[in-house]
Amino acid sequence: MNTQEERTWSMLAHLSSLAALLFTGLGFICGFIGPLIIWLLKKDQSHIVAENAKEALNFNISYTIYSLIAVMLVFLLVGFLLVPIVYVVWLVFAIIATVKTNQGQYYRYPFIFRFIR
């Protein structure tokens, strides 16, 4: 990445989902709002920040869908196992992306749909 400012904004795009978890308790549900705002604000100013914000946005949208499916599967008793797994995987990937981005590396999340290209 080019500048410290781009690295900081990229890191904030990934970190904002963790902030949503911390402040609202709804990391999946509200986690896409921060990356969306950063993407809308910075998409014309920095390609690097825009790409990281889109990746974080796609990640949070995908994991919101995964969590909703896991919650629906609670009625089949499978969801009791899936809900914590989805939550832990989401948390781990969000932390890894934040650290990698802060180090100046581009992080591409596994297991997500790329709704926004």
CA-CA distance, 114 to 23, in Å (whole number)? 26
Which pLDDT score, from 0 to 100, does residue 19 have? 81
Average pLDDT over residues 76-81: 86
40 part of a folded domain = yes
Alpha-carbon distances, residue 47 vs 12, 21, 51, 88, 92 (angstroms): 15, 27, 6, 30, 25
Which pLDDT score, from 0 to 100, does residue 25 have? 61
Could you tell me the residue range of the domain that residue 39 belongs to? 4-102
CA-CA distance, 42 to 51, in Å (whole number)? 10
Find out whether 49 and 13 touch, Cβ atoms under 8 Å.
yes
Read off the pLDDT band of 64 (50, 70, 90). confident
**Percent of the chain whose pLDDT exceeds 90:** 38
116 part of a folded domain = no
Q: How many domains does the chain have?
A: 1
Tokens 């992306």 belong to 97
114 part of a folded domain = no
Which pLDDT score, from 0 to 100, does residue 115 have? 84
112 part of a folded domain = no
Q: What is the pLDDT of residues 12-49, one digit of tens each?
A: 998 888 887 777 666 556 677 888 999 999 989 988 99
Average pLDDT over residues 73-98: 89
For residues 72 and 30, which has the higher predicted lDDT (pLDDT)?
Answer: 72
